[in-house]
Structure 1
Amino acid sequence: MAIRTFGHTTITLPELDEPGLYLSNVDSLDSTRGTVQDFAYGEADLRSLDLAEAQLVTGRIAGIRAKRVEFEQVNIHGVEIGDSEFGSARWTESKLTRVHVRDCKLMGAALDGLVLDDVLFEGCKFDFATFEKIRVTGPVAFIGCVLTEASFTDCDLSDVVFTDCTLRLTEFGTGRYRNTDLRENDLSAIRGVAHLAKVRIDPGQQSDLAEALVNELDIAIGDD
C-alpha cells in the first residue's frame, strides 16, 4: 500500500505497480456490466466524457483531455487520475475511495454530493469550482492545489488538510470545519471567515484571518 502523511492525516493510496497486478488497456470507461476493473485508460482527446451508474475499480486514468465531463453516481475505488484536463465538469452523487488525483485541471467544475475517503488532490487546479454537500468519511488532503474563487457550500470538511494551496477569494460557506487543517497557506484573501469555527491554523496566520475578515466586511481603517 502507498501511504502519504500530511500533518495529522495519513492517506492510503492505490498501489498500482505491485507484483501480480496487471492493468489492461481499455478504449472506454463505459461498460455494459457497469464496472471497469484493473484498467488503464489514457492519452485521448474527447469532446465529452459521460458516465452514469458506473464503478471504476483499480486502475489508472492519464492524459485525458475532455471538453465536457458528466459523471453521475460514478463510484471510484483504487484509481489514479493524472495529467488530465476536464473541461465543464459536473460530478454528482458519487463516492471516491483510495483515489489519487494529480496534476489535473478541473477549472469551473461542479462537484455535488460526493463522499470522499482516502483521497488526495495534488497539484490540481480548481479555479472557480463549486463544492456542494461534499462529505468526508476518511482522510482527505488538498496539496499544492489552486482554488482561486472556488467555493465550498454545505460541506463537511472535518479533518481535511489544505497545504501549500492558493486560496485567493476561496469561499468557505456554511458547513462543518472541525479540525480542518489550514496551516501552511496564505489565508489573507479567503472568504467566509465566520464559518471557520474549530479549524487548525498556525499562530502567524491569525493576522491573515484578521485581514480576510476586514476585507470581507469592507471595513474602512483610517483617522478621517
Structure 2
Amino acid sequence: MASRTFGHITVTTPDLDEPGIYLSMVETLDSPRGAVQEFAYRDVELRSLALAGGRLITGRVSGVRAKQVEFDALSLHGVEITSSDLGSVRWRESKLTRVHFRDCRLMGAALNGVALDDALFEKCRFDYATFEKVRATGPVAFVGCTFTEAAFTDCDLSGTVFSDSGLELTEFGGGRYRGTDLRGNDLSRIRGITNLAEVRIDPGQQTDLAQALVDELGITVGDD
C-alpha cells in the first residue's frame, strides 16, 4: 500500500502497479452497471464530460481534456488522475477516497458537498475555483498547487495540509480549519484571516498574517 507523508499527516495513495492489478483500457467512464473498475482512460479530448450517480474504482485517468465537466454523486476510490484539464468542472455531492490528482487544471472549478479522504492534489491549478461545504473526512494534502482568487466557504478543512502552494488572494470564508497546516506558504495576501482560528504556521509566517490582516481591514500605516 503506497503512502506519502506531509507534515503531521500520511496520505494513502493508489498503488495501481501492485501485483494482481490489471487495468483495462475503456472508451468511456460511464457504465450502465453504475461502476467502472480496474480501468485506464487516457488521451481523449471532449466537448463535455458528464457523470452522475456512478463509481470509479481502481483506475487511472490521464491526458483527458474536456471543455465542460459535470460530476454529480460520483464516487472515486483508488483512482489516479494525471495531466488532465477538467475545464470549469462542477462537482457535487461526491466522495473521493484514496485519490491522487497530479498536474491537473481545475481552474474555475466549483466543488460543492464533496468529501475527501486520503486525497492528494499535487501540482494542480485551482485558480478562481470555489469550494463550498467540502469536507476533509481523512488525510488531505494540496502540494505545489495554485489557488489564485479561489474561495473556501463553509468547508471543514481540519487537519488538511497546504504545502508550497500559491495562495494569492485566496479567501478562507467561514468554516472549520482546526489544525489546517499552512506552513511553507506565502500568507501575506490571503483573505478571511479572521476565520483561520487554530491553524498551524511557522514562526516566520506571523509577519505574513499581520500583513494580510492590515490589508483586509484597510488599515493605513503611517506616522503623519
Partner of 1:169: 169
Distance in 1 separating the partners of 2:182 and 2:210:
15
Distance in 1 separating the partners of 2:223 and 2:100:
52
1:154 matched to 2:136: no
Partner of 1:15: 15
Distance in 1 separating the partners of 2:55 and 2:173:
31
Partner of 2:62: 62
Partner of 2:186: 186
1:121 matched to 2:114: no
Residue 108 of structure 1 aligns to a residue whose secondary structure is coil
C-alpha displacement of 1:218: 1.1
Distance in 1 separating the partners of 2:88 and 2:179:
32
1:79 matched to 2:73: no
Partner of 1:111: 111
Distance in 1 separating the partners of 2:134 and 2:220:
35
Partner of 1:39: 39
Distance in 2 separating the partners of 1:223 and 1:208:
21
C-alpha displacement of 1:147: 0.4
Residue 208 of structure 2 aligns to a residue whose secondary structure is helix
Distance in 2 separating the partners of 1:19 and 1:223:
69
Distance in 2 separating the partners of 1:183 and 1:44:
37
Distance in 1 separating the partners of 2:20 and 2:128:
41
C-alpha displacement of 1:26: 0.1
Distance in 1 separating the partners of 2:204 and 2:82:
34
Distance in 2 separating the partners of 1:58 and 1:93:
20
Distance in 1 separating the partners of 2:2 and 2:46:
31
Residue identity in the other structure for 1:36: V
Cα deviation, 1:81-119, whole Å, max 9, x if unaligned, reads 000001121000000000000000000000000000000
Distance in 2 separating the partners of 1:144 and 1:44:
26
Distance in 2 separating the partners of 1:40 and 1:67:
21
Partner of 1:26: 26
TM-score, with length taken from structure 1 = 0.99
Alignment of 1:84-95 (within 5 A): 84-95=84-95
Residue identity in the other structure for 2:197: A
Unaligned runs of 5+ in 2: none
Partner of 1:4: 4
C-alpha displacement of 1:214: 0.4
Q: Percent identity?
A: 68
Cα deviation, 1:29-77, whole Å, max 9, x if unaligned, reads 0000110000000100000000000000000000000000000000000
Deviating beyond 3 angstroms after TM superposition, the runs of 4 or more aligned structure 1 residues are none
TM-score, with length taken from structure 2 = 0.99
Distance in 2 separating the partners of 1:181 and 1:88:
27
For the aligned residues, what is the CA RMSD?
0.5
Residue identity in the other structure for 1:45: E
Partner of 1:144: 144
C-alpha displacement of 1:14: 0.6
Question: Mean Cα displacement is larger for which, 192-201 or 214-223?
Answer: 214-223
